[in-house]
Structure 1
Amino acid sequence: MSAAISAERRHELDIGEAASTHLAECLAVDFATLLHTVAALPDAAVQRMRAAASKGITQRMALAATLLREAGQGDPARWQSHRSDTVRGWACYLIGSDATLALAGKLQAMQPLADDAHFGVREWAWLAVRTDLVAAPQQALQLLLPWAHEASPYLRRFACEALRPRGVWASHIALFKQQPQHALPLLEALANDPERYVQDSVGNWLNDASKTQPEWVRDLCARWQREHSSAANTYIRKRAQRSLR
């Protein structure tokens, strides 16, 4: 994916002087160089990151947070306004891996990053707390329900995307795979959301659920068709049922 990225552009990304503009650039960042440049970590820590270069990006994000914390640089506030979206992603993982915070505290601390202007940071925000959400899905649902009514579409989308039954690059939430009806209050709150960014997430949530509970998704979409006449809901229903035959 990095072949089309110029050497000059790679250098800007690797030293934290620029934010990525698409997924290929996100994946191309050299974490070891970035850590060395922005945090001046000891050589041993940088080498640990370099040795992990072949691991998945979520594993490297988690390792970056660990290395920053071990070096006494684990305050997310130090990194969450950095120019580099990858560095702001490290702030997400510092919050997500903070053993002193309960889930409510993590979500409160994560909210500015969940509302970040950069698409990548918004993804790291929910991925960084996914383990906690998987462990306590009903509590997570209650905490995130108010987010479905936020003015920011980024926060409304976070509430949905973070609780997807299957998700992307993430552990599954067994409860919502087998009993998606538990999440109905959240889905109903977003059933006519005006933003396509949110609509996509709601449709994807239901598409996830259709893999294990197809009849429930069909029934919900049939009811929504009777109850909602918005273009938004029509789009969501189509996206929700795209895997059904």
Structure 2
Amino acid sequence: MSAAISAERQHDLDTGAAASTHLAECLAVDFATLLQTAARLPVAAVQRMRDAASKGITQRMALAATLLREAGQGDVTHWQSHPSDTVRGWACYLIGSDAALDLPAKLQAMRPLADDPHFGVREWAWLALRADLVAAPLQALPLLLPWTEEASPYLRRFACEALRPRGVWATHITVFKQQPEHALPLLDALANDPERYVQDSVSNWLNDASKTQPTWVLDLCARWQREHSSAANAYIRTRAQRSLR
């Protein structure tokens, strides 16, 4: 338990009675206790999670989905409306690890979780699909391009964040590190997005690309400066080039 989190608050997080409010609370959740409380898994399954306590959180998220599925509790619809954001994250990983679904089907199933009101669930939504996206990024691009026109800024951000060349806690996408121009249709579609949440993702995407293709990012920003006069695009350009100054 984190010293900054009260015992009462920790209990609510560990038993799934409450959602986390910031990253420190997300990281502080005792997965074994939560699995035991929310799913009443067998003792052996809970112990497997306890044994994994020292592993990274993404590994434990994937393990939770595995344990739920092995226990016959892999119904995503049952978990995706749970009060705990961590449990809803497990639903993301149940979708991501479902061998019966291809990428289009996984993206469709993930939509409500990608549009979840909780920041953490929205991150788990793309992280849970990262392996599929890394395996077929050029297939994913046309599937996600329509998401850039969604009314929800959460879905628009997902389209960009899910395909970041480097990402956070995620495997890199080599083709976008070396040939970021493949993603131009998606980036151009979001070049003037009105939401800061989406703007940050676009600028982070370009900042990722600037680590390997700085000239391409500079040229794109120069083109955008000529073509776009919006404050949104100016903000994106500034943040996109922050590693190049």
Give the TM-score range, shorter chain.
over 0.9
Letter in 2 for 1:141: L
Letter in 2 for 1:64: A
Supply the distance in 2 between the matched residues of 1:114 and 1:33 (Cα, whole angstroms).
Answer: 26
SS at match of 2:244: coil
Q: Give 1:2 deviation, angstroms.
A: 1.9
Supply the distance in 1 between the matched residues of 2:115 and 2:2 (Cα, whole angstroms).
Answer: 27
Q: Give 1:124 deviation, angstroms.
A: 0.2
Supply the distance in 2 between the matched residues of 1:49 and 1:18 (Cα, whole angstroms).
Answer: 21
Supply the distance in 2 between the matched residues of 1:127 and 1:80 (Cα, whole angstroms).
Answer: 16
Residue 222 (structure 2) pairs with residue 235 (structure 1)? no
Q: Give 1:187 deviation, angstroms.
A: 0.2
TM-score by length of 2: 0.99
Query: Match for residue 29 of structure 1?
Result: 29
Residue 188 (structure 2) pairs with residue 188 (structure 1)? yes
1:30-69 equivalences in 2 (<5 Å): 30-69=30-69
Supply the distance in 2 between the matched residues of 1:204 and 1:2 (Cα, whole angstroms).
Answer: 30
Q: Which runs of 5+ in 1 are unaligned?
A: none
Supply the distance in 1 between the matched residues of 2:124 and 2:36 (Cα, whole angstroms).
Answer: 21
Q: Give 1:232 deviation, angstroms.
A: 0.1
Query: Match for residue 178 of structure 1?
Result: 178
Supply the distance in 1 between the matched residues of 2:204 and 2:169 (Cα, whole angstroms).
Answer: 14
Letter in 1 for 2:13: L
1:81-120 equivalences in 2 (<5 Å): 81-120=81-120
Q: Give 1:3 deviation, angstroms.
A: 1.7
Supply the distance in 1 between the matched residues of 2:64 and 2:143 (Cα, whole angstroms).
Answer: 28
Letter in 2 for 1:209: A
Supply the distance in 2 between the matched residues of 1:113 and 1:157 (Cα, whole angstroms).
Answer: 13
Supply the distance in 2 between the matched residues of 1:64 and 1:212 (Cα, whole angstroms).
Answer: 35
Supply the distance in 1 between the matched residues of 2:142 and 2:176 (Cα, whole angstroms).
Answer: 14
Query: Match for residue 212 of structure 1?
Result: 212
1:162-204 Cα shifts (integer Å, max 9, x gaps): 0000000000000000000000000000000000000000000
Supply the distance in 2 between the matched residues of 1:90 and 1:103 (Cα, whole angstroms).
Answer: 18
Q: Give 1:81 deviation, angstroms.
A: 0.2
Residue 33 (structure 2) pairs with residue 2 (structure 1)? no
SS at match of 1:243: helix
TM-score by length of 1: 0.99
Residue 70 (structure 2) pairs with residue 79 (structure 1)? no
Query: Match for residue 155 of structure 1?
Result: 155
Query: Match for residue 225 of structure 2?
Result: 225
Query: Match for residue 137 of structure 1?
Result: 137
Supply the distance in 1 between the matched residues of 2:191 and 2:224 (Cα, whole angstroms).
Answer: 8
1:54-105 Cα shifts (integer Å, max 9, x gaps): 0000000000000000000001111000000000000000000000000000
Supply the distance in 2 between the matched residues of 1:126 and 1:224 (Cα, whole angstroms).
Answer: 27
Supply the distance in 2 between the matched residues of 1:203 and 1:169 (Cα, whole angstroms).
Answer: 18
Supply the distance in 1 between the matched residues of 2:136 and 2:22 (Cα, whole angstroms).
Answer: 32
Query: Match for residue 11 of structure 1?
Result: 11
Letter in 2 for 1:101: L
Supply the distance in 2 between the matched residues of 1:227 and 1:124 (Cα, whole angstroms).
Answer: 35
Supply the distance in 1 between the matched residues of 2:238 and 2:2 (Cα, whole angstroms).
Answer: 34
Q: Give 1:220 deviation, angstroms.
A: 0.3
SS at match of 1:3: coil
Q: Give 1:205 deviation, angstroms.
A: 0.1
Supply the distance in 1 between the matched residues of 2:3 and 2:101 (Cα, whole angstroms).
Answer: 41
